[in-house]
Amino acid sequence: MGSARVPEFRITMETPTHVLRPRSLNGATPPRWIEGRALADYGKYLTDESRHTGHAAALVFPTCIEEVAGAVLEARRRGLPVTVSNARTGIAGGAVPAGGLLLSLERMNRIRGLRHGPDVGFLVRCEAGVLLSELQDSVATGSFADSAGWSDESRACLERLRRGRYLYPPDPTERGAAMGGTIACNASGAHTFLYGPTRPYVQSLLVVLADGRVLDIGRGQARAREDGEFALALPGGGMRRGRIPSYRWPRTKNSGGYYAEPRMDLLDLFIGSEGTLGIIVGAEVRLVPAPEANCAVVTFWPDEAAAVAFTRRLRTERQDLGVEAIEYFGPNALDLLRQRRETMGAISGVPERLPGPGACAIYLDLGTDTGRLAAVLGSLCELVAAVGGDPEHCWSAMARDERERLRVFRHALPETVNGVIAEVRRRHPGVTKLGTDMAVPDEGLEGVLALYRSALDRAGLHYVVFGHIGDNHLHVNILPRDPAEYAAGRRLYEGFARDVVAMGGSPAAEHGIGKLKTSFLTILFGPEGLAEMRAVKAVFDPESRLGVGTLFPEEAQ
């Protein structure tokens, strides 16, 4: 594959320091403070896609960095904690306030400019509230709503960008998420298989700290020392010293806890910190060359073992075939889709002829050069046949509207699951979907599938397994039919988290910890790891005022 290959990330700095030096901001002013009865009109800001609801003493919508700093200082003066909220698409409750000031970044939504990146791509500068959909669509079309106000350098870059095809790869399914939120959660998705999560695309961040100072931090500028030590310069001179946690980061996708590795770039501490270390107000992110041609393919397999064997072969061909995503539909998932087709007919988004019970499907996104597409599809057919599949029974889609049809098919599953749960909730309002978000290292894939199947079948629960098999990151959705099954499902869910961690994986691979999955952090890193995370937080937020209740449960008020 040519153009979809992710370029190496290279920035060379002379001697990165281990000391972060935030600056004080002139002109910090609090924005309009919405409180008391006026808050009643803003109920939607107290909740997110987790459907949990919180409470706040006040709400602000800053429109510039001075107002963010002003709000933070005013909250400090009033003794209020601060919860950061962006597009509120999070499903772990991180943006749901547990009292204090709720600071929404949705009005900081401008794309500020463009420059050349350290490699063949570009860097785009945006405010935290810019929606992922807006950024990605602007890059794809070369049309930026705010470009009239850009500098000459940015506009010249835009002309060059328009001559090629570029892409901002992070894809957390929900494109209504905001850039600040995706960075705060290190969002990832199906295409993470080829492109990685959000982290490697973040080049620099502008962060307002809990004391109202501003940290402008670029990749390669500051690193922890060999022994993990780093420091934050204090306003009156002196330093507050900290140490990178000593826990071992899972060898899988992981969105739980502060990132930690030897001599790590200190920029990476903020990516995935879920609003507990600072408020990300702006970012510069990397664009990479986009593939010239895209194709979606669905392949069918007689059973789970064959689907896994195909996945393993695809992994070795990832770069050559330009495999962007490998997504799995287990036997129960196809059963549910078959039922959907029977009930809803053609409008179900599910084609008529799905293979019979026991079969599985693997969905692929491919991205390559136009001139190579036919050869890539030929190699894919050979691969399907080599693993024992039937290339005649694959669906493929190249034109945009055909690919859209396969995308609808792919998304029909979560939609059907939500419909099933909504039906059960009419009779049992306390029952919710139990959706896991766990990843294991490569060698654990067969083991974890067997674990899920045996435990759930033994318990007699209704469930589907689907998702990012390329990254060994499968979602189990347990569909309880009554409160007793709900309780049994919850117990299994917690047990899966322990098993997955024992396999070297993550119980929170992409949706974050937020306020709802804090017990998983203890399972993942143990009480010692949690204590090390608290020590990191104390460097940036010694009064523990940011993101109260997120990551660290007992702080909730």
Ligand X SMILES: Cc1cc2nc3c(=O)[nH]c(=O)nc-3n(C[C@H](O)[C@H](O)[C@H](O)COP(=O)(O)OP(=O)(O)OC[C@H]3O[C@@H](n4cnc5c(N)ncnc54)[C@H](O)[C@@H]3O)c2cc1C
Q: Which residues bind ligand X (CB under 6 A)?
A: 48-49, 83-91, 94-95, 105, 128, 172-174, 177-178, 180-182, 184-185, 187-189, 274-275, 279-280, 510-512, 514, 547, 550
Strands 239-243, 166-167: pairing kind: unpaired
CB 208 within 8 A of CB 184: no
Indicate the residue among 48 and 555 with the shorter CB distance to ligand X. 48
Return phi, psi of residue 404, to 5°: -60, -40
Give me the least distance between CB of 358 and ligand X, in Å please.
Answer: 27
**DSSP-based three-state secondary structure for 281:** strand
CB 520 within 8 A of CB 500: no
554 burial class (0-12, 13-18, 19+ CB within 10 angstroms)? exposed
Dist CA 156 CA 116 (whole Å):
10
DSSP letter for 129, please. Answer: T
Indicate the residue among 185 and 536 with the shorter CB distance to ligand X. 185
Give me the least distance between CB of 513 and ligand X, in Å please.
Answer: 9
DSSP letter for 224, please. Answer: -
Dist CA 109 CA 112 (whole Å):
9
Give me the least distance between CB of 256 and ligand X, in Å please.
Answer: 12
Give me the least distance between CB of 217 and ligand X, in Å please.
Answer: 13
CB 189 within 8 A of CB 149: no
Give me the least distance between CB of 298 and ligand X, in Å please.
Answer: 19
**DSSP-based three-state secondary structure for 58:** strand
Indicate the residue among 43 and 460 with the shorter CB distance to ligand X. 43
40 burial class (0-12, 13-18, 19+ CB within 10 angstroms)? exposed
Indicate the residue among 277 and 288 with the shorter CB distance to ligand X. 277
Indicate the residue among 258 and 301 with the shorter CB distance to ligand X. 258
Indicate the residue among 182 and 348 with the shorter CB distance to ligand X. 182
Give me the least distance between CB of 199 and ligand X, in Å please.
Answer: 12
Q: Can you state the angle between helices 304-316 and 445-458, rounded to 10 degrees?
A: 160
319: Cβ–Cβ under 8 A, 6 or more apart, which residues? 1, 5
**DSSP-based three-state secondary structure for 102:** strand
Give me the least distance between CB of 388 and ligand X, in Å please.
Answer: 30
Give me the least distance between CB of 465 and ligand X, in Å please.
Answer: 16
Indicate the residue among 83 and 203 with the shorter CB distance to ligand X. 83
Pick from 470, 468, 295, 471: which is nearest to 367 by CA?
295
Give me the least distance between CB of 105 and ligand X, in Å please.
Answer: 5
Indicate the residue among 65 and 167 with the shorter CB distance to ligand X. 65
Return phi, psi of residue 3, to 5°: -75, -20
Give me the least distance between CB of 472 and ligand X, in Å please.
Answer: 15
Structure tokens at 164: 């090629």
Indicate the residue among 105 and 424 with the shorter CB distance to ligand X. 105
Task: Indicate if the alpha-carbon torsion angle 191, 517, 336, 358 is positive or negative.
Answer: positive
DSSP letter for 9, please. Answer: P
**DSSP-based three-state secondary structure for 15:** coil
Indicate the residue among 185 and 293 with the shorter CB distance to ligand X. 185
